[in-house]
Amino acid sequence: MLYQLYETQRALMEPFSDLASFAAKSLSNPLSLVGQSPFSQRLSASYDLMHRLGKDYEKPEFGIRTIDVDGVEVAVHERIEVKKPFCDLIRFKRLTDDSATLNKIKDQPVVLIVAPLSGHYATLLRDTVKTMLQDHKVYITDWKNARLVPMSDGEFHLDDYVNYVQEFIRHVQGKYGNCHVMSVCQPTVPVLAAVSLMAGRGEKTPLTMTMMGGPIDARKSPTAVNNLAMNKSYEWFENNVIYRVPSSFPGAGRRVYPGFLQHTGFVAMNPDHHAKSHYDYFKDLIKGDDVSTEAHRKFYDEYNAVLDMDADYYLDTIKVVFQDFSLVNDTWDVKSPSGKIERVRPSAITTTALMSVEGELDDISGSGQTRAVHEICTGVVSTQQRHFEAEGAGHYGIFSGRRWRELVYPEVKAFIKGHQPSKLKAAPAASAAPKAAAAPAARQPRAVKRTDTAPTLFSAPAPKLVAVPVPAAKAKAPAKAVKKATPVAKPAVAVVAVVERKLEVVTVPAAQAEVSAAAASPALVIDVQATPLTVPAEKAPAQATLALEPAKTVASKLPAAKAPAKATATAPAAKAASVKAAPVKAKAAPTVAAKKAPQAK
């Protein structure tokens, strides 16, 4: 009956509220005749205050269009990823065309923020979301007004809340492999239950849990909210604060705890503060302080917008959290969607790091209530636990406003970052050059002539050969386009290797330069990209060998009959060039014996 009376009164007041708004705008207009009267500013302020006290406050929007990421403006797109009867999972997707910023944000941690279902909408965490978006991918639970949920969608209990949270965690983990969970105020209890159940089944749990201002153990430092819930019986709440939704709403007939009763309770906790706030708003209107008046409007547009909670969920919370203390007493049983009853055991959590945050002046969740989570999560090692108390912060200050941004957020950000697995980087193709080959590379090679001879296909008789450099002038072979290899009938081959801008001249005996298409051993094909160089026979070194490290050479091992004309040979360093071989006359080039290289460490 009370709900119907409230709605009747609100419907009667609505026209007067609109009229007061019209009068306030007319009296504040300097171009109108009434706006030029001596007392027009005071009258306008009075009517504006009457309008705000009598209007109906609907659900506000998040309204996050852009954020600043290291000086770059990033667009934000809000979308629903999971729709449930009583809750939507919203993702805030960040969009930018700046490549550096895009590369930065795509590897940032994913955070699921579980908003409270305690009378206000999830938009109460607007500042929390906007700040977190600077360094994280953000999801949030957006709970629905129970009076807008048809009776056909069934009931909603605290157990359903726990199951919703588990489903949302699995959804985010399924997309990104892992996630972090942050709960603010009321949801600290069901979030801890959800993660405990997942850990008990052996499921993958979030990397971290951040608990902020929640009644984990309401027996510690009880506040006025706790005392009301603990001193009244379950039956008292069921008989005095539960009403059915009027017929003018989609959820007509549903038993709910009305939002206007919750709002009345919030105001009753600090009536002097709210009265002073409205009087200051009136004086700011007279003075023309637009900044202060706009700040007042934004706060109370959010604070006065409330929702109804399903009666079953509300009564379950009263009993489990504030009367039986089932979580800390290890006596809480939760019914899964399949109908199975499971015991909530926080001690089962072992792989999730834990952080608790409290406000020094919190008048809703008293000191020590959130910190109690460390006492019951005995499976989490002490090095993975963290507690932070924000000095001078009240309940709303730990997740909204200046203290949240300057005190709390840096701690939360560092905690999440410290437990975010680093992205594995791909190892380079050649990690380091062999010491044996690196030592002689400092010498200057002998000057050589350039030729236009095509690269030669040859086979390597040994898996490892060591290159012995030949001192010469500072000649450097420029790169040219790769040409198709032409087989030659067993000549001695002079090979000039360009390694880290050093020239090395080596020769291979004719007996080892196997180029026959019918060869039985696998063919090693070298992709020649450097200019071919020829060494005169009389100036060739008495002894030289070719260094070919299998760990740093990419070669196609195919039968010689099917060997391709070229393949890529990777140099041992990022600046290494390819090798090109040039045939010379067999009579002029001395042959040398190859020696095996020592194994690189």
**Per-residue pLDDT averaged across 280-289, rounded?**
93
The more confidently predicted of residues 59 and 548 is 59
Tokens, residue 410: 């840096």
Indicate the SS3 state at residue 386. strand
**Taking the model in full, what pTM does it have?**
0.70
Query: Rounded CA gap, 569 and 556, in Å?
Result: 10
The more confidently predicted of residues 511 and 256 is 256
The more confidently predicted of residues 180 and 518 is 180
Indicate the SS3 state at residue 427. coil
- Name the residue with tokens 């193709």: 429
Average pLDDT in the chain: 78
pLDDT at 218: 94
CB–CB of 329/364 below 8 Å?
no
pLDDT range class, residue 266, cuts 50, 70, 90? confident
**Per-residue pLDDT averaged across 346-365, rounded?**
95
Closest CA to 359 of 221, 226, 227, 262: 221
Fold of the domain spanning 66-258+308-418: Rossmann fold (3.40.50)
Give me the percent of the chain exceeding a pLDDT of 70: 70
In the predicted model, is pLDDT for residue 181 greater than 90? yes
pLDDT at 440: 42
The per-residue b/e assignment along 446-471, b for 16 or more CB within 10 angstroms, e otherwise, is bebeebebbbbbbbbeeebbbbbbbe
**Per-residue pLDDT averaged across 506-526, rounded?**
41
pLDDT at 38: 80
pLDDT at 582: 41
Query: Rounded CA gap, 247 and 307, in Å?
Result: 17
Helix residue ranges per DSSP H, 135-201: 158-176, 188-200
- 342, amino acid identity: E
Give me the percent of the chain exceeding a pLDDT of 90: 62
pLDDT range class, residue 464, cuts 50, 70, 90? very low
- 74, amino acid identity: V
**Per-residue pLDDT averaged across 513-521, rounded?**
39
3-state secondary structure 89-123: EEEEEEECCCHHHHHHHCCCCEEEEECCCCCECHH
In the predicted model, is pLDDT for residue 476 greater than 50? no
Closest CA to 59 of 277, 391, 275, 305: 305
In the predicted model, is pLDDT for residue 172 greater than 50? yes
Torsion of the alpha carbons at 391, 394, 398 and 400, rounded to the nearest 10: -130
Query: Rounded CA gap, 137 and 151, in Å?
Result: 35
pLDDT at 423: 67
In the predicted model, is pLDDT for residue 281 greater than 80? yes
Number of Cβ within a 10 Å radius of residue 524: 23
In the predicted model, is pLDDT for residue 292 greater than 50? yes
Q: What does the pLDDT look like over 550-569, one tens digit per residue?
A: 444 333 444 444 444 443 33
- Name the residue with tokens 């391709």: 564
**Per-residue pLDDT averaged across 160-188, rounded?**
96
The more confidently predicted of residues 495 and 197 is 197
pLDDT at 386: 96
In the predicted model, is pLDDT for residue 18 greater than 90? yes
pLDDT range class, residue 214, cuts 50, 70, 90? very high
Q: Which of 245-259, 372-386, 430-444 has the lowest mean pLDDT?
A: 430-444
pLDDT range class, residue 173, cuts 50, 70, 90? very high
In the predicted model, is pLDDT for residue 583 greater than 80? no
Provide the sign of the torsion angle of the four alpha carbons 335, 336, 339, 340, taken in this order.
negative
- Name the residue with tokens 């969740």: 365
In the predicted model, is pLDDT for residue 123 greater than 80? yes
Q: What does the pLDDT look like over 21-72, one tens digit per residue?
A: 999 998 888 887 777 778 888 999 999 999 999 999 999 999 999 999 989 9
pLDDT range class, residue 156, cuts 50, 70, 90? very high
pLDDT at 31: 80
Query: Rounded CA gap, 588 and 107, in Å?
Result: 61
Torsion of the alpha carbons at 471, 473, 474 and 477, rounded to the nearest 10: -90
Domain boundaries, the chain: 2-54, 66-258+308-418, 434-601
